[in-house]
Amino acid sequence: MSASGSAYADLLGLVAFGELLAFERMAGDARLAPDLRRRAALNEMAAAEIANYRRLADRLTALGVPPEDAMAPYVEPLQAYHDSTEPRDWAEVVTKAYVGDAITDDFVREIADALEEPDRALVLDVLHDSRYADFAGAEIRVAVADDPRVAGRLSMWARRLVGEALSQAGRVAAERAALTALIARDGRVDVPGLFGRLTTAHTARMTAAGLNN
């Protein structure tokens, strides 16, 4: 593959490993569910990620890149994100799923602009099913309705999630210049602009779920 082709596989690898790790972590968090119905719902959210992982891995293989090679650079930063944001209870679990899935989707949409077909369509197709966001958003509202003081705690938790995510994303961007160049707009590597767009959308979602920024 050419140098830009390699950056291209890098992007698909990033999305693929993000799916794989989101799957594992959500499945691991399910034990914190207050009942079996919610536990099953989170596990089914998790399972949706693995199907997406498979599609991206198959595409990488078709491009001649072993999926594990394309994913390797992201193991450390993505694990660091999840290790530093271990939810302590169900409200934190659903907030993490709500915040994390949405930011991931926004980021994937940004990435899609850098891809050609059929990869653009593939990547846009792995966006999260909105019924899972609806489930997580509803769970947050229930938690806040049960105890209004929870809103403050979850707002702080959401800020920490975004802070940790952007910190690790910045690390990836700094270390992988070719990848960053690929998602640049108008030839400029506008990482602050990208981060600005992600956080603006995040702010609107927090308000929708009854949380503060």
What are the structure tokens assigned to 186, written together?
């108008």
Distance in Å, CB of 72 to a copy of itself, minimum: 7
Report d(CA 127, CA 129) in Å as an integer: 7
Distance in Å, CB of 30 to a copy of itself, minimum: 6
What Å distances lie between residue 28 and 8, 39, 208, CA to CA? Answer: 31, 10, 27
Distance in Å, CB of 159 to a copy of itself, minimum: 27
At 78, the amino acid letter reads: L
Which candidate, 8, 16, 14, 1, places its Cα nearest to that of 64?
A: 1
The count of residues interacting with a copy of itself (CB under 8 A) is 28
The reply to whether 24 sits near a copy of itself by the rule CB under 8 A is yes
Report d(CA 78, CA 82) in Å as an integer: 6
The reply to whether 173 sits near a copy of itself by the rule CB under 8 A is no
What are the structure tokens assigned to 9, written together?
């596989």
The reply to whether 71 sits near a copy of itself by the rule CB under 8 A is yes
The reply to whether 72 sits near a copy of itself by the rule CB under 8 A is yes
What are the structure tokens assigned to 127, written together?
């966006």
Letters for 27-46 (x = contact with a copy of itself by CB under 8 A, - = none) are xx-xx---xxx-xx--xx-x
Q: Assign residue 93 a region: left if phi > 0, alpha if psi is -120 to 50, beta otherwise?
A: alpha
Stretch that binds a copy of itself, among 24-32, 96-104, 151-159, 202-210 (CB under 8 A): 24-32
The reply to whether 142 sits near a copy of itself by the rule CB under 8 A is no
Which candidate, 82, 206, 98, places its Cα nearest to that of 156?
A: 206
Q: Select 17 or 157, whichever has its Cβ closest to a copy of itself.
A: 17
What are the structure tokens assigned to 53, written together?
């992982």
The reply to whether 97 sits near a copy of itself by the rule CB under 8 A is no
The footprint of a copy of itself (CB under 8 A) covers: 17, 20, 23-24, 27-28, 30-31, 35-37, 39-40, 43-44, 46-47, 50-51, 53-54, 57, 66-68, 71-72, 75
